[in-house]
A and B are shown apart, each in its own frame.
Chain A
Amino acid sequence: MFKEGILQMLGVGIYESLYMTLISTFVAYVIGLPVGLILVCTDKEGIRPIVWLNKLLGFIVNVLRSVPFLILMITVIPVTRAIMGTTIGSKATIVPLVIGAAPFIARMVESSLKEVDKGVIEAAESMGASPFQIMFKVLLPEAKPSLLVGSAISVTTILAYSAMAGAIGGGGLGAIAMNYGYYRYQEDIMFITVILLVIIVQILQEVGMRIAKISDKRL
């Protein structure tokens, strides 16, 4: 149906999209998970209230969250160049993806951890658990299913962001859809990339939800 070259290009597109998404998600979690944890613990109702730190982190997260991703990508170009040495291609896209996704993930993590029953935390305190023990033995394990659901949502959001990066020279399926559909009016190829994106989102979402469900002992 299509030329060999196009199939190969789509294959590379899928690979690049997944590569950007998964690496960015991982790095964004490395940043977002501790931030979310700190946001919950330092809250004035939290296990170790530190109001100024909570306010500061909350403010930074909100600022980054309120910048539209497309604008954020352009704003952080100097940062991208400094870290990656280039501003185009899928590797370069990882930087804005991480900056855009980490605050989002921090909020997702925060809301998951807040679901943990206050009574259980109180019980741990009554046993003499330290704040760190509560974090690692109560909050994170008890919120695990919800955190996994959150990560399924995050990874699909980041995939959508990565597609947007195609507009400013990022790689992946987004770039293909942009280049063929928008610049060359080859709508068939654009549709195919869209369908591929939908399939990838479905798979990631489904897998994430399944894992979350299996890991949840409350059912």
Chain B
Amino acid sequence: MEMKEKNVMIELREMSKSFSTKNGMVHALDKINLKIEKGEIFGIIGMSGAGKSTLVRCINLLERPTEGDVFFDGVNLTALPPAELRKARQSMGMIFQQFNLLMQRTALENVCFPLEIAGVKKEEARKRAEELLEIVGLADRKHSYPSQLSGGQKQRVAIARALTTNPKVLLCDEATSALDPNTTRSILELLKDINKRLGITVVVITHEMSVIEEICQRVAIIDSSKIAELGTVEKIFTTPKSAIGKQLVYSESRPQTNFDDSNTRYCRIVFDGETSFEPVLANMILECQGVVNIMYANTRNIDGQAYGQMVVQLPPDEKMAKKMLAYLEAKHVNFEEVDYV
């Protein structure tokens, strides 16, 4: 018997997935080890083709891993016979980038669908479906067909549908990638709300760092079939370690224009809740008697806390630049020299 770890909802153990294609074997995932805890919102981010979509499909075995095991709430899914696996899938909801609603069914009928599959009586299914449409704020559109709904509304129906069977986990595969920024925000709000209210573990797959920052507590960065970096979102946002992590975190602060001088040095400074109360940059300028050019600055809300980031161009005078970096170092500010050229 396996020791059942109380706090772990999903565990991937030495999991690999390869596909055989015309051009030989492709290793989509290579020995992935990952634990997702009960009740958290966990993000999986990566560039397209990194294997993140395959990874999420391995969690509910839509794709069967070539090697390794998938544990769901203590049960090894890879060892289950088909009928029991189908039963287990009823405790895992999933939503998709393209919503994947049944086009010939109304919103309400779509939400009833998983219950029909689970063999729940029609009346009961209908009642439950109406409750869920209420939760996602679409009670008034229950008789509409998907083609009559907007993207955001379709995703709300899909979320309601994924929740009808009272799942323990909600898997979101690029769920906001087909939506505009405002709709994305409202869908993310809804996911956050569901996580809080119903205590459902949420796994979010995305290629957008902003999505991760908005709702995730922890994140795994996938790059070339492996987990490149794993940790709290706060930690990865302030001090990304892997090359891919830096790329994902910095890409938004990248200056839009490239200046044609390779001597210029840039520095990214991150202010967390504490440092943002202190005028660090102003003090640095006063102290060092030199000026910096601010290339980019913004603030972000990470898991409920405000973070600021700023990209500055250091003065060409090397001595001065060194002095400034030393100052930041002394003040325990999170900073890193970045290379945008």
State the A residues within 8 Å of B (CB).
117, 119-120, 122-130, 133, 137-138, 141-142, 144-145, 216-219
Contacts and interface: CB of A to CB of B under 8 A. Distances in A.
A125 B88 CA distance: 12
Given A125-B62, A127-B114, A218 B94 contact: no
Interface residues of B, number: 31
A25 to B, nearest CB: 23
A117 B90 CA distance: 21
B114 A218 contact: no
A141 B104 contact: yes
B106 to A, nearest CB: 8
B100 A117 contact: yes
A51 to B, nearest CB: 15
Nearest to B115: A127
Interface string B93-117: 1101010111111000000011011
Contact of A137 (B92, B94, B117): B117
Given A127-B93, A133-B117, 7 more contacts: A123-B100, A126-B60, A126-B62, A138-B102, A216-B104, A217-B104, A219-B147
A123 B89 contact: no
Pick the 5 closest A-B CB pairs, nearest first: A128-B89, A123-B100, A128-B86, A119-B100, A126-B94
A129 to B, nearest CB: 5
Contacts of B104: 141-142, 144-145, 216-218
B89 A142 contact: no
Interface of B: 60, 62, 83, 85-90, 92-94, 96, 98, 100-105, 113-114, 116-118, 145-147, 158, 165, 171
A78 to B, nearest CB: 44
B86 A119 contact: no
A211 to B, nearest CB: 14
Contacts of B96: 119, 122-123
Nearest to A131: B82
A82 B331 CA distance: 98
Nearest to B91: A128
Contacts of A133: 117
B90 A122 contact: no
Given A127-B90, A128-B90, A128-B118, A141 B147 contact: no
A125 B96 CA distance: 13
29 contacts: A117-B98, A117-B103, A119-B98, A120-B101, A122-B100, A123-B94, A123-B100, A123-B101, A124-B117, A126-B60, A127-B90, A127-B93, A127-B114, A127-B117, A127-B165, A128-B89, A128-B117, A129-B86, A130-B86, A130-B117, A133-B117, A137-B113, A137-B116, A141-B104, A142-B104, A145-B104, A217-B103, A217-B105, A217-B146
A117 to B, nearest CB: 7
B62 A120 contact: no
A145 B118 CA distance: 27
Nearest to A117: B100
B216 to A, nearest CB: 21
A120 B100 contact: yes
Nearest to A127: B114
Contacts of B158: 123
B58 to A, nearest CB: 12
B98 A127 contact: no
Given A124-B117, A127-B89, A127-B114, A142 B94 contact: no
B119 to A, nearest CB: 10
Contacts of A218: 103-104, 145, 147
Contacts of A219: 147
B117 A142 contact: no
B100 A128 contact: no
Contacts of A129: 86, 117
Nearest to B82: A130
Contacts of B98: 117, 119
A197 to B, nearest CB: 34
A145 B113 CA distance: 20
A96 B114 CA distance: 43
Contacts of B117: 124, 127-130, 133, 137
A127 B86 CA distance: 7
B107 to A, nearest CB: 11
A217 B100 contact: no
Contacts of A123: 94, 96, 100-101, 158
A212 to B, nearest CB: 12
B92 A126 contact: yes
A1 B105 CA distance: 54
A219 B104 CA distance: 10
Nearest to A219: B147
Contacts of B114: 127-128
Nearest to A133: B117
Nearest to A134: B117
A219 B101 CA distance: 15
A48 B112 CA distance: 25
